[in-house]
Amino acid sequence: MQLEIIILAAGRGVRMQSDLPKVLHPLAGKPLIWHVLKTAAALNPFKLHVVVGHSAEKVKTACADFSVNWVFQKEQLGTGHAVLQALSEVSPESRVLVLYGDVPLISVGTLRQLIHETGAGSAVLTADLDDPSGYGRVLRDSAGRFERIVEDKDATPSELEIREINTGVLIVSAAQLNAYLPTVTSDNGQGEYYLPDILSRLVEDNEQILTINALSDEVLGINDRFQLARAEAANRVNRARALMDQGVTLIDPTRVEIRGEVECGSDVVIDINVILSGKVVLENQVNVGANSCISNSTIGAGTVIHPMSIVDGATIESSCSIGPFARIRAGTRLSSEAKIGNFVETKNTTLGEASKASHLAYLGDAKIGSSSNIGAGTITCNYDGVEKHTTEIGDNAFVGSNSTLVAPVNISAEAFVSAGSTITKDVASKELAVGRSPQRNVTGWKRPQAKK
């Protein structure tokens, strides 16, 4: 039987106290619903439906990377009503998995277990929580078989003591949904049409409801910012554990933020308060210093990112040294054994093998050859107020401290620029460029005195 998935994402999320729809609040740098869609897509459903309502266009825009059938729910009258809106577009031959746009941490493995271990039958995902407040409780008969769900607001004091909760995630056939959902009423404490009510009706008709138990962190629902912070912490632990299982050393797993796809080689070491976002590749024996941020970059084997450095949209080859306090911006490419030191910023710049800019420099729109030295305080003047221009520096060139290179300009291989020079003309190979005023010493000069 083919699988179709319905994701419920129509609510506003009043308790978030925000103009942003609840499902668009970020977790690990991506909207909550993005995580749910990624998990759902990994299950290879025949069709993926998302029920939207509040700020529907914003939700659609944020999920543009996924192939989705959008269903609009004009009024939010409960989970049963939401699923009913999508049913007309679900094949009667399908089995339907219902997920939630604000429950982002359920694993693909758990959902596969729910789908495959329950055969073609109906099943619900449950979890045992130390504090089940706010969740519907799972009621069982004397033989331990599933009987029904009672919502928190409708539960008796004894039922509130039950720790097994309904996650809301369930799988049933489309035929059963079509048959039973129209019979669900809103005669309950919240005046809503509860999706789990169909399960008790199935039981009444002698249908067995199977259960699969999930880990408590997987089923965290996000209704307020505190719960969002809890989910962020749980996700942080999960992602850190996954890296450590691959052989990565995390000095403190609770203080590494992974907000994207990270691929690591062997013997990688990551210090505290590091943020990895977007697509990041850390090859063998990369060492990332404390308080550094790396996004959408590849870091070559043996490279050291010293503390307090930012690398964004760059390609760093092997055995380079970055920082501390360096900013490597988009379009930067460092060849092997290159060095970018403290308080150096690069943008759209290539640095050849074993070249170095050790301190206090800005290199923008520059092409620098191998084994060249860029002195402290050097800047490339790449912007004329309208357009960007390129500075080219050849192999084995030497640029002295506090030099200003006014682009477009070409400093050839083995050229030498004296410290403190402003260079506006090309410098030929092996030439010395001196672009500064002659020094004048004034004899008999007297230091100014403060007036009494």
Q: Active site residue: 49, 54, 359, 389, which one? A: 359
| Positive or negative torsion for Cα 75, 78, 79, 84 | negative
User: Omega before 31 cis (within 30°)?
Assistant: no
- For residue 266, what pLDDT band results from cuts at 50, 70 and 90? very high
Q: Count CB atoms within 10 A of the CB of residue 60.
A: 13
Instruction: Say yes or no: 15 and 70 in one domain.
Output: yes
Compute CA distances 14 → 11, 53, 60, 168, whole Å. Answer: 8, 14, 20, 20
Q: Count CB atoms within 10 A of the CB of residue 276.
A: 25
Residue 444 placed within a domain: no
Instruction: Say yes or no: 212 and 247 in one domain.
Output: no
- For residue 125, what pLDDT band results from cuts at 50, 70 and 90? very high
Q: What is the pLDDT of residue 75?
A: 86
Instruction: Say yes or no: 55 and 174 in one domain.
Output: yes
**Nearest alpha carbon to residue 200 among 139, 143, 155:** 139
Predicted confidence (pLDDT) at residue 235 exceeds the cutoff of 90: yes
Give the rounded distance of the alpha carbon of 163 from its chain centre: 32
For residue 49, indicate whether it is catalytic: no
Q: For position 249, which CATH number holds?
A: 2.160.10.10
pLDDT, mean over the chain: 95
* Average pLDDT of the segment spanning 318-340: 98
Cross-strand pairs, 356: 339, 373
Q: What is the pLDDT of residue 134?
A: 87
pLDDT, tens digit, 9 for 90 and up, residues 136-153: 999 999 999 999 999 888
Q: For position 17, which CATH number holds?
A: 3.90.550.10
Residue 295 is encoded by which pair of tokens?
């996004």
| Positive or negative torsion for Cα 446, 447, 448, 452 | negative
- For residue 50, what pLDDT band results from cuts at 50, 70 and 90? very high
Instruction: Say yes or no: 313 and 193 in one domain.
Output: no
Cross-strand pairs, 328: 311, 346
Q: What is the pLDDT of residue 188?
A: 76
pLDDT, tens digit, 9 for 90 and up, residues 382-428: 999 999 999 999 999 999 999 999 999 999 999 999 999 999 999 99
Identify the domain boundary among 219, 250, 282: 219
Q: How many domains does the chain have?
A: 2
Instruction: Say yes or no: 34 and 148 in one domain.
Output: yes
Residue 277 is encoded by which pair of tokens?
């976002």
Residue 449 placed within a domain: no
The C-alpha angle with vertex 301 and arms to 289 and 390, in degrees rounded to 5, equals 85
Match 């420099």 to its residue by tokens. Answer: 361
Q: What is the pLDDT of residue 76?
A: 85
- For residue 308, what pLDDT band results from cuts at 50, 70 and 90? very high
pLDDT, tens digit, 9 for 90 and up, residues 52-72: 998 999 999 999 999 999 999
Instruction: Say yes or no: 185 and 248 in one domain.
Output: no
Instruction: Say yes or no: 164 and 298 in one domain.
Output: no
| Positive or negative torsion for Cα 8, 10, 15, 19 | positive
Instruction: Say yes or no: 88 and 125 in one domain.
Output: yes
Query: Whats the size of the chain, residue-wise?
Result: 452
Task: Indicate the range of 272-286, 363-377, 434-448 predicted with least confidence.
Answer: 434-448
Instruction: Say yes or no: 275 and 341 in one domain.
Output: yes
Q: What is the pLDDT of residue 190?
A: 78
Q: Which domain holds residue 322?
A: 239-433
Residue 445 placed within a domain: no
- For residue 12, what pLDDT band results from cuts at 50, 70 and 90? confident
Q: What is the pLDDT of residue 404?
A: 98
DSSP 370: T
Instruction: Say yes or no: 199 and 260 in one domain.
Output: no
First to last CA, the chain: 97
Residue 117 placed within a domain: yes
Q: What is the pLDDT of residue 191?
A: 78
Residue 23 is encoded by which pair of tokens?
């499902």
Match 């693909």 to its residue by tokens. Answer: 108
Compute CA distances 235 → 213, 228, 239, 259, 278, whole Å. Answer: 19, 10, 6, 10, 16
The whole-model pTM stands at 0.87
User: Omega before 196 cis (within 30°)?
Assistant: no
Residue 152 placed within a domain: yes
* Average pLDDT of the segment spanning 266-282: 97
Instruction: Say yes or no: 189 and 273 in one domain.
Output: no
- For residue 106, what pLDDT band results from cuts at 50, 70 and 90? very high
**Nearest alpha carbon to residue 347 among 289, 306, 407:** 407
Instruction: Say yes or no: 193 and 252 in one domain.
Output: no
